Chains A and B, each alone.
Chain A
């Protein structure tokens, strides 16, 4: 039913109770009115039948003596009952005497009574026709036909109908009042429960509880709801406790890391300042001594030279180590970096190192997200390595190109046709101070590729290399590209 499927529970409950009590009342009312109608009709027929019998008994002698006047007098007894509108006595099928309540009214309707069986009756819309045979010594000598109005019965039925309607209306009103009171007892706790649920979902307050309703089903619903809330609250509490514990641990670890970092910084500061000073002294005094080299002799001068070189090299190593440590610690300034532009700049500067002019092939490179200064250092290292390790070739060839692009990262390759390397040592290439060539072959401390790897890692990328001894090397690095959100 459409009316029952929508609207609030409250309305539906009222409607249901009004419908059911209304239906019951209508049925009861209809039964009562119907029974009354039947009873009234039966009483009417009985009364008319008795009156017909009395009139008939008096009418027999009038027929026997053909005394029409007497017959009409007998019929006039019907005047006592205003409901009887007409009556006739028939003899030999002919009308013998007639009574009409209102003179001048049609009396033909009485003739239809002749067609009825003796004692039979016919009920019209507003007329009851009853006929009775007149019997004398077992012989039917005539017939009485009486017509009566139904006004009284109709009035009674109307009264009954009105009464039932009034009772129905009153009962329905009472039903509405009672059911709206009753429904409040049902819907009120449901509404309160809904309020609590809303408060829980809006304020995330799992400590509130719904109160009971004094109604078995709803109480059980409220109980389950409260149990569910308690469970959620408990879980949330546990979650928060776990979260707090984790936070605490993170804070502890962070503090430890910070302490370690501070220590490292103090260490590198100390290395920077305190280790370099004596080194400078060694180098300085050795060189001052060289000013008096005449008194030293050949071997003395050679040793002095070694001391100077060693001190210089150690100074270089310390500087490299410090720059490596600084690369790991410095704050990154992340901006979009146009790699093509960057590589062109680096190549322009690096060409000063070229001993033999190389053939340069610079491909178009994308824009990546990163720290420009650090990325510049990456390409400076890779390109100056490429120049250095291809410098012994008659026709050095150096290429920088885009080697791949997928999943938000780009792969850039810097390759040369220089001395290359044995792939067996590929894993050592990016280590700090790891070198695959002797210092007298190629200069350098071996910090360059370690810096490259460290910078690329800090950008969230990877580095790897491929090489063939005597044929060249290719260095690859992947970098995240500028992601544009749709």
Chain B
């Protein structure tokens, strides 16, 4: 098993951040969680720009993205990640309140790895976050950086 990598979590709502972080902690997911407040910050983190210029190199184990965020939304972050050779392999999970079909369809079209509608009931939410954290943060293996590029629908092809 890999040494535990960080989890990138982009969410503009303080409440949601608190609930999600609490849920992750309750699920005993030990990965470090990087919380950013919108898409621009998420991209800054991923590309090590601005306030994140000095952070340690290396892609996160997974990016948990909210859809509706100020400045740049989750869909745009996903689109940019999938068109960037260095970021393409990072698993992306959309974590949202929206059940809208067009969001679902568009996310999968852009190559999302999972799309999770946050349940209203807290316990169900905790379960969902726990599953996500365990799978993407601990169990899932990603290719060594730069070696291969990750293509949508789970197929892997050589550059």
Contacts and interface: CB of A to CB of B under 8 A. Distances in A.
Contacts of A312: 120-121
Interface stretch (B13-21, B39-47, B84-92): B13-21
A29 B101 CA distance: 104
B100 A283 contact: no
A414 B56 CA distance: 65
Given A276-B120, A280-B118, A280-B125, A319 B99 contact: yes
Given A276-B120, A280-B120, A312-B120, A285 B15 contact: yes
Contacts of B123: 287
Contacts of B120: 276, 279-280, 283, 311-312, 314-316
A269 B98 contact: yes
A95 interface: no
Contacts of A322: 99
B67 A281 contact: no
B14 to A, nearest CB: 9
A288 B98 contact: no
A273 B101 contact: no
A304 to B, nearest CB: 12
Interface in A303-347: 311-312, 314-316, 319, 322, 326, 330
Contacts of A314: 120
B122 interface: yes
Interface in B106-154: 118-123, 125
Contacts of B118: 276, 280
A283 B98 contact: no
A330 B118 CA distance: 23
A68 interface: no
Contacts of B68: 273
A315 B68 CA distance: 19
The B interface, classified by DSSP as helix, strand, loop or mixed, is: loop
Contact of A287 (B96, B101, B122): B122
A469 interface: no
A311 B19 CA distance: 16
A283 B118 CA distance: 12
A272 B122 contact: no
A277 interface: yes
A411 B99 CA distance: 34
Contacts of A363: none
Given A273-B67, A277-B13, A312-B120, A284 B99 contact: no
A355 B97 CA distance: 33
A163 B22 CA distance: 135
B95 to A, nearest CB: 11
B100 to A, nearest CB: 6
A364 to B, nearest CB: 35
A277 B22 contact: no
A316 B120 CA distance: 9
Contacts of A284: 15, 19, 122, 125
Given A283-B121, A287-B123, A326 B22 contact: no
30 contacts: A269-B100, A272-B97, A272-B98, A272-B99, A273-B67, A273-B96, A273-B97, A273-B98, A273-B100, A276-B120, A277-B13, A277-B97, A278-B15, A280-B119, A280-B122, A281-B15, A281-B19, A283-B121, A284-B125, A285-B19, A287-B121, A288-B122, A311-B120, A312-B121, A314-B120, A315-B120, A316-B120, A319-B99, A322-B99, A330-B101
Interface of A: 269, 272-274, 276-281, 283-288, 311-312, 314-316, 319, 322, 326, 330
Given A272-B98, A277-B15, 7 more contacts: A276-B120, A280-B19, A280-B120, A283-B120, A285-B15, A314-B120, A319-B99
Interface of B: 13, 15-16, 19, 22, 67-68, 96-101, 118-123, 125
